[in-house]
Structure 1
Amino acid sequence: MIDNYKDWHEQLPYALLGYRTTARTLTGVTPYLLVYGTEAVITTEVEIPSLRIIQEAELDNAEWIRKRVFQIGQLVLKQIFPSQEEYKGKFAPNWQGPYMVRKVLSGGIVVLAEMDGQEWPRAINSDAIKRYYV
Structure 2
Amino acid sequence: MVELLSKVEVKQISRNENYRADMLARMAATVDSKLSKSVPLEVRTSPSIGEEVEVDELPGVLWAYQTTHKTATGETPFALVFGHEAVVPAEIGIGTHWTEYFNEEQNGEQICLSLDLLEEKREGASQKAAQCQQRVMRYYNKNVRMRQFRAGDWVLRKVNQNTRDPNHSALGPKWEGPYRVIRAVGPGAYKLAYPDGRDVKRSWNAEHLKKYFQ
Structure whose residues are more often strand by fraction = 1
Pick 1 or 2: higher relative contact order, CA cutoff 8 A, min separation 6: 1
TM-score by length of 1: 0.49
Q: Return the index of the structure with the highest Cα Rg.
A: 2
TM-score by length of 2: 0.31
